[in-house]
Amino acid sequence: MKEKRFTDEEIGTIKALFKNNEKGLKVLRKVFLPTYDFDAPLGQTVDLWMTLNLMSLSPQDREVQIIARNQLITHVEQQLMQLQFLAQEEEETEEAKKLRLEKNSSK
């Protein structure tokens, strides 16, 4: 039997935190994917991508850094979407599960 990525307890926690809570997911996005805030006071903005000193790198290393950055952004977005999906997923009752298994086994 294949091991599940999340335990039932973890799924419960995900649902408790994120079900119908798009604002919570947006806060996580803001934490993990910071962007420049034009309304922040001068000297108070930190965009983590600005800390990369690309000018000291070779063109090939710059490309690697930019590709890695893009892949990280994509990964975080995908994980946030997974949390959203898991939080909204309806739990199957034992009765519904039994009916589904009976229906599948009769094919």
Residue 30 lies in a domain: yes
- Burial of residue 107, with CB atoms counted within 10 A of its CB: 0-12 exposed, 13-18 middle, 19 or more buried: exposed
Residue 96 lies in a domain: yes
Confidence at residue 1, expressed as pLDDT on a 0 to 100 scale: 63
**Which parts of the chain register pLDDT below 70?**
1-2, 36, 45-47, 106-107
Residue 53 lies in a domain: yes
Buried b (16+ CB within 10 A) or exposed e, 64-86: eeeeeeeeeeeeeeeebeebbeb
Confidence at residue 75, expressed as pLDDT on a 0 to 100 scale: 93
Asked if 22 and 88 touch (Cβ cutoff 8 Å), the reply is no
Residue 21 lies in a domain: yes
Residue 29 lies in a domain: yes
Q: What is the pLDDT of residues 18-49, one digit of tens each?
A: 999 999 998 898 888 877 677 877 777 666 77
Task: List Cβ neighbours of 66 (8 Å cut-off, separation of 6 or more).
Answer: 54
Total domains in the chain come to: 1
Q: What share of the chain is helix, strand, coil (3-state, %, to 5)?
A: 65, 0, 35
User: From CA 64, how far away is CA 94, in angstroms rounded?
Assistant: 49
Residue 15 lies in a domain: yes
Domain containing 75 equals 8-105
pTM: 0.68
Confidence at residue 46, expressed as pLDDT on a 0 to 100 scale: 66
